[in-house]
């Protein structure tokens, strides 16, 4: 089905900031791009990078966010960075939010060019910018929906289809668990020393069915 529906439960993955630190460029950027591609295929809605071994999360976060941005918005959202020297070699994600100019969709990502009262002129990747009703106080990147021929702001959490991932940084794995778990969160920690997943498949399937959020820890 395209576009794919929003997954239930919400899918989050957490990786260590030390991941890919042993790789040299351009292999490092390409491996991060593969992570972004896998996250998109499996409809991951949030990627958390937790600090480990004093490695900053910025290098991974910068590449992941650049890849997530629709191509027509990168001129606004992706500044020049040494971490993006090889971003041109990364394959496109082609997530549902990465729309071409002639593709039809009731939703589009946009960038506010200027405001006019309670409305804004927004570049959403069409031939010309559009006028849309956008609440005050929002950042320049917004998600719009078209209703009765008019564009207006919509919270991306309300979009019924998978719309890509967001990226956040946490100071530690402990902080990740404190800030991103609730009684309805199922946490799965992975390890090469762990139990083979095929032996837990039935048990996990039952728990996933009742969870609101699925958090998978890597690293």
The domains located in the chain, with CATH, are 10-96+163-217 (3.40.1280.10), 107-154 (2.40.50)
In angstroms, the Cα distances linking 137 to 37, 118, 128 are: 32, 11, 24
Three-class SS of residue 135? coil
* pLDDT of res. 110: 98
Q: Does pLDDT of 194 surpass 90? A: no
* pLDDT of res. 56: 96
**pLDDT band, residue 183 (cuts 50/70/90):** very high
**Sole residue written with tokens 């929906």:** 145
**pLDDT band, residue 192 (cuts 50/70/90):** confident
Q: Please state the rounded mean pLDDT for residues 21-39.
A: 96
Give the sign of the dihedral formed by CA 112, CA 114, CA 117, CA 121: negative
Helix 58-68 × helix 27-41 angle, to 10°: 50
| pLDDT tens track for 58-94 | 999 999 999 999 999 999 999 999 999 999 999 989 9
**pLDDT band, residue 43 (cuts 50/70/90):** very high
* pLDDT of res. 117: 84
d(CA 199, CA 184): 23
Give the sign of the dihedral formed by CA 57, CA 58, CA 60, CA 65: positive
The runs of H, that is alpha helices, within 4-53 are 27-41
Percentage of the chain with pLDDT > 70? 100
Instruction: Tell me how many degrees the CA angle 173-174-180 measures, rounded to the nearest 5.
Output: 85
3-state class percentages of the chain: helix first, strand second, coil last, to nearest 5? 30, 30, 45
* pLDDT of res. 1: 82
For 120, phi then psi, to 5°, come to -145, 155
Q: Does pLDDT of 219 surpass 80? A: no
Q: Does pLDDT of 191 surpass 80? A: yes
Q: What one-character-per-residue DSSP string does 70-89 give? A: -GGGHHHH----GGGTTGGG
With a CB cutoff of 8 Å and minimum separation 6, the contacts of 205 are none
* pLDDT of res. 2: 87
* pLDDT of res. 147: 93
């Amino acid at each position: 089905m395209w576009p794919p529906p929003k997954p239930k439960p919400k899918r989050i993955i957490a990786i260590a900031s030390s991941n890919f630190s042993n790789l040299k460029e351009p292999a490092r950027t390409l491996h991060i791009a593969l992570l972004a591609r896998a996250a998109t295929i499996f409809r991951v809605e949030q990627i958390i990078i937790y600090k480990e071994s004093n490695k900053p999360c910025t290098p991974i976060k910068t590449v992941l966010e650049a890849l997530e941005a629709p191509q027509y918005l990168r001129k606004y959202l992706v500044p020049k960075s040494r971490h993006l020297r090889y971003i041109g070699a990364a394959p496109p994600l082609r997530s549902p939010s990465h729309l071409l100019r002639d593709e039809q969709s009731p939703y589009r990502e946009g960038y506010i060019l200027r405001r006019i009262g309670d409305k804004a002129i927004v570049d959403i990747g069409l031939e010309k910018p559009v006028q849309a009703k956008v609440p005050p106080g929002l950042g320049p990147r917004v998600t719009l929906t078209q209703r009765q021929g008019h564009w207006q702001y919509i919270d991306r959490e309300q979009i019924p289809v998978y719309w890509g991932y967001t990226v956040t940084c946490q100071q530690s794995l402990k902080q990740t668990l404190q800030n991103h778990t609730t009684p309805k969160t199922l946490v799965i920690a992975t390890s090469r020393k762990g139990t083979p997943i095929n032996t837990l498949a039935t048990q996990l399937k039952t728990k996933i069915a009742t969870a609101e959020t699925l958090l998978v820890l890597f690293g």
